[in-house]
Structure 1
Amino acid sequence: MKAHSTKLRSIARWLAGTACLAALAMPLTAIDAAAAANCIKGERKAPYTIGWANIYSVPTWMKQTEGTITAQVEALKKEGRVKDLMVTDAQGNAQTQIQQIQSMIDANVDAIIVIAGSSSALDRVVSDACDKGIAVINFDSLVNTDKVTSKINTDSNEWGSKAAQWMVDQLGGKGKIIIMNGPAGVSVSDDRRKGAQPVLDANKGLEVITETNTEYNVAPAQEAMTSLLFANPEIDGVLSLGGALSAGALLAFDRQGRDPVPTTGENARQFLELWKEKGIKGWATMQPNWLGALSVYAAVQALDGKPVPARVKVPLPVIDDASIDSYLARADKFPADGYIYSDYDQALFDKLLTE
């Protein structure tokens, strides 16, 4: 009896050891895939239904971004991997966006692509989508919660830091500047501003005389800058943290008959053209519109059981006097009030999803 018990214990120890070895031998790709497939549960098989929860569609950047989303969906439809695209427009209202995402949850879409109208207000509904087994890909303006499949973005803090450092270098660390921000409460705008602050703190000779928040559109930015020009006769630089904002600022300077000053921004066609036309000192970077297409591609990859990182960092390019002509050479391919973004393809997407 004692010998029998000893034998059973030996067998149990052997089985436990075998199980541990099997777990250790499990391919890393399988472990990574399980981690990458956060939120995805239940029977979800291609072709998939994708939801695109847009915060607002009026700005040209958003229209171009939606264009990359629909183009990616059409390509995946031809491959038999996507069936439908559900599109909503919250018209800038975060509460409306919450209701629209809830409708997508109720419809049991397979994936939701979202630009958040509020970094905090959407946390509960996004988490609920994740709990219901829906793939959630959040890009550009991010939610606070990590209950998503993946967050895809450039580094907005780095964006603000690099723009501020360029301004410091241009002005020799001394001068009066105006800061132009996007809408308050939108994470991409707030994070750019936060990124600029440590550089400003380290360079006390750079005086921020005032700053403003406007929509990412030329007209309201021009109106805001016009008011600031009347109130501030001496301005040495414009630290603009958005492309349409920069175009609006330069137009305001021109309409008031004032010489333009060093200005930062991004790849808005109108800003780049004014930069070249006026011969200003400028610096810009790019928030690629194809982040939308990449988000759709990532959602389908995750639904297919392939590894997708919880966070995907897209590198920031630099547009300066040495590279601006290469962007303007392609200007006629984009709307006059649009953004000149770089080319993209599946090879680029695969590279970004494996880095």
Structure 2
Amino acid sequence: MKFQALRNLSCHRTLLAGAATVAFVLAAGAGPASAAANCIKGDRKAPYTVGWANIYSVPTWMKQTEGTITAEVEELKKSGLVKDLMITDAQGNAQTQIQQIQSMIDANVDAIIVIAGSSSALDRVISDACDKGIAVVNFDSLVDTDQVTAKINTDSNEWGATAAKWMVDQLGGKGKIIVMNGPAGISVSDDRRKGAQPVLDANPGLEIITETNTEYNAAPAQEAMTSLLFANAEIDGVLSLGGALSAGSVMAFDRQGRGQVPTTGENARQFLELWKEKGLKGWATMQPNWLGALAVYTAVQALEGKDVPAFVKVPLPVIDDTTIDTYLARAGQFPADGYIYSDYDKALFDKLLAQ
């Protein structure tokens, strides 16, 4: 997620790498009058109005994510649980997002779904929504406050640490690497970088010659890497902490006639296709777009009186040479600049909420 652009715009009914191994059971709860979930209070009854406070709608990752939200709302409408979906777009501005969330509070929506444009700036308005009895579910880029109904995410620290360990193994603990980050100040980007640091500290033979912060889009990432290629004759690996960033890096190396180096990344279709095409030494994982759908489902379950977890941890799959073909086999179902995410359904969501 992103000030200039959040991440490019979701486990498993399929065999997609690791995430299908989740096994849980949804805890049953009491009726709305005795709701156990945080924030829920007042006389809120189905069908509910849900607000989707989007920080930025342009990147493909966000478009795909919004697609899972709208699809889940349509399913819940069929069940008589949701009436309306209110969508706002802050266009990358955290202050605008605060104003839009405040408008949702003033409209007395029943639930607010949010990816935070700032981990700290939204705390007051999010807490205010919670105090008003509105279900608040925060996913992907998280706020600092715990005054929410639930937070949903993969483990970004684990993401960074696992990527760094893979790089250490690929280079035998020695070499010159470039670190590619998403926008500074976005929790998912900052946390991935924090997760990588202890691994890098433990392997001083890996020299970080430079690192970047760019939008989660291939074009600016390619531009940034092109400049770094001109400035650095020797690069042994690219520790990229975002899928579109990795695609931009691979394209920059290719267009400059430089040999590809071990590169980490995400399930961005473009990166996975380039990985296969160039015979890249690669590693990736997945931030599923269906976290958005899960957030809507979680909010409605809470409003219905279910005791949902304060934090829902979604397992990280591993994409490597043994699993990449499973993802690429489904590539045609997703935009060329999109992310290949796994299938999802109510049964999966129920298992995740049973943690």
Q: What is the TM-score normalised by the length of structure 2?
A: 0.91
Shift of 1:307: 1.6
- Tell me how large the CA RMSD over aligned residues is: 1.5
The aligned residue for residue 297 of structure 1 is 297
Alignment of 1:232-251 (within 5 A): 232-251=232-251
Q: Whole-Å Cα distance in 2 between the matches of residues 36 and 65 of structure 1?
A: 28
| Higher percent of residues as helix | 1
Q: Give a deviation string over 1:215-250, Cα, whole Å, max 9, x none.
A: 100111111111111111100000000000000000
Shift of 1:326: 0.4
Partner secondary structure for residue 209 of structure 1:
strand
Q: Give a deviation string over 1:315-340, Cα, whole Å, max 9, x none.
A: 00000000000000000000000000
Q: Is the 8 A contact 1:34 1:307 kept in 2?
A: no
The aligned residue for residue 194 of structure 2 is 194
Q: Which residue identity lines up with residue 262 of structure 1 in the other structure?
A: P
Partner secondary structure for residue 177 of structure 1:
strand
The aligned residue for residue 124 of structure 1 is 124
Q: Which residue identity lines up with residue 82 of structure 2 in the other structure?
A: V
Alignment of 1:1-355 (within 5 A): 36-355=36-355
Q: Which residue identity lines up with residue 183 of structure 2 in the other structure?
A: P
Q: Is the 8 A contact 1:266 1:284 kept in 2?
A: yes
Q: Which residue identity lines up with residue 261 of structure 2 in the other structure?
A: V
Shift of 1:34: 6.2
Q: Which residue identity lines up with residue 107 of structure 1 in the other structure?
A: A
Shift of 1:30: 5.6
Q: Is the 8 A contact 2:35 2:41 kept in 1?
A: no
Q: Give a deviation string over 1:130-163, Cα, whole Å, max 9, x none.
A: 0011000000000000000000000000000000
Q: Whole-Å Cα distance in 1 between the matches of residues 245 and 144 of structure 2?
A: 26
In structure 2, the CA distance between the partners of 1:105 and 1:153, relative to structure 1 (3 Å rule), is same
Q: Which residue identity lines up with residue 314 of structure 1 in the other structure?
A: V
The aligned residue for residue 23 of structure 1 is none
- In the alignment of these two chains, the number of paired residues is 328
Runs of 4+ in structure 1 over 6 Å off: none
Q: Which residue identity lines up with residue 48 of structure 1 in the other structure?
A: Y
Partner secondary structure for residue 233 of structure 2:
coil
Partner secondary structure for residue 43 of structure 2:
coil
Partner secondary structure for residue 208 of structure 1:
strand
Shift of 1:29: 5.3
Percent identity at matched positions?
A: 86
Q: Whole-Å Cα distance in 2 between the matches of residues 137 and 86 of structure 1?
A: 15
Q: Whole-Å Cα distance in 2 between the matches of residues 63 and 218 of structure 1?
A: 16
Shift of 1:122: 0.3
Q: Whole-Å Cα distance in 2 between the matches of residues 58 and 184 of structure 1?
A: 19
In structure 2, the CA distance between the partners of 1:179 and 1:38, relative to structure 1 (3 Å rule), is same
Shift of 1:103: 0.4
In structure 2, the CA distance between the partners of 1:282 and 1:96, relative to structure 1 (3 Å rule), is same
Q: Which has the larger radius of gyration?
A: 1
Where does structure 1 lack aligned partners over 5 or more consecutive residues? 1-26
Partner secondary structure for residue 85 of structure 2:
strand
Shift of 1:35: 7.7
Partner secondary structure for residue 87 of structure 1:
strand
Q: Is the 8 A contact 1:36 1:309 kept in 2?
A: no
Shift of 1:37: 1.4
In structure 2, the CA distance between the partners of 1:34 and 1:155, relative to structure 1 (3 Å rule), is farther
Q: What is the TM-score normalised by the length of structure 1?
A: 0.91
